[in-house]
Amino acid sequence: MPGMREIKAKIKSLKGTKRITAAMKAVSAAKLRKAQEDLFNVRPYAEVMKGIAEGLYRRGNPAIHSIFRVRPVKRIELVVISSDKGLCGAFNANIIRRVNRFAREKQSEGIEISLTTVGNKASQFFTKYSGLHVRKTFTDIFRRIGLPLAREISSDLYLGYMSEYFDEVYVVYNKFYNALKQEVTFEKIMPLSVEADEETPVSEYTVGPDESVIEEAIKAYTSAVVLRALKESETSEHAARMTAMDNATKNAEDMIRKLTISFNKARQAAITKELIEITTAIEAMK
């Protein structure tokens, strides 16, 4: 059993750790509130852009415009969005595990997989420890999340799809539901397809043969989808880190309580030993 000095040093160290984790939890909670506000503003924008793209799909002839044309799938591009930093529980591990599982399933069907990694953690893992082909990386991105970054990523994806380098594009991210629930989501953004629904109203406009309108609309749509995925991931990251730091703080408290009990027992044993020694000395002097 460790002595009182060692136990006291461990308690002191754990109290310092507890202060750090509690501070990180408070910071993440503040960032989460701000990220939620931004996310709730971005979601309607993405839905509107998606509705415009779907309206163009219904009004036009999908076979004419390249962005709507479905090709035999030979290669799939996965846009994997992770965090730049750790200490957020299983946030990054869940993404990596699901991507690897998806890649194995598709590779067994003879489909090639290439990756666009967004965030330091995904870039580090898939570059160093995975056999998957990393086509492009975006690192140190969460200080500059916004429409310019989303346009940079989506433009690269659009060019890759239109040049037929890949035949399908999925965005993989943690979708935010609440502070305790975030789910890994695979969202296919290219080719754009819409389920047939006769009851869905069609907007009162026509689409001419010029593809430039379609092209600009689809670029705006893909930028909006990527921006929403970035915001979903950012909000989920803050929620996951807040939860992880809360759990770490509670674990530190439990360990401090157990060590305090051990310290008290050791001190009581030392006092009892001293009393026995004093009593024995007194008896020996009689």
249 and 120, same structural domain?
A: no
In the chain, the percentage of residues whose pLDDT exceeds 90 is 54
Considering the domain boundaries, does residue 225 fall inside one?
yes
- Are the C-beta atoms of residues 88 and 120 closer than 8 Å to each other? no
Q: Is the domain of 148 the same as that of 171? A: yes
Q: Compute the mean pLDDT over every residue in the chain, rounded to the nearest whole number.
A: 86
Evaluate whether residue 262 is within a structural domain.
Answer: yes
The count of domains in the chain is: 2
Domain of 272: which CATH number?
1.10.287.80
Range of the domain at 260: 4-20+245-285
My answer on whether 278 and 198 are in the same domain is: no
Give pLDDT tens digits for 7-24: 889 999 999 999 999 999
Provide the pLDDT for residue 5: 84
Residue 255 pLDDT: 93
What's the mean pLDDT in 56-78?
A: 75
Note whether 204 and 251 are same-domain residues. no
Whether residue 14 sits in one domain with residue 61: no
What is the pLDDT, as a whole number, of residue 53?
80
Which stretch of 141-145, 196-200, 217-221, 257-261 has the lowest confidence by average pLDDT? 196-200
Question: Quick one: 145 and 38 in the same domain?
Answer: yes
In a domain, 27, yes or no: no
Q: Check whether residue 55 and residue 135 sit in a common domain.
A: yes
Residue 13 falls inside a structural domain: yes
> What pLDDT, on the 0 to 100 scale, is given for residue 198?
46
**What mean pLDDT is predicted for residues 206-211?**
56
Give me the mean pLDDT over the 200-211 stretch: 53
Are 8 and 143 contained in the same domain? no
Query: Same structural domain for residues 129 and 251?
Result: no
Residues of 189-201 as b/e, b for ≥16 C-beta within 10 angstroms?
bbbbeeeeeeeee
CATH of the domain at 177: 3.40.1380.10
What confidence score (pLDDT) does residue 114 get? 93
pLDDT for the residue numbered 211: 61
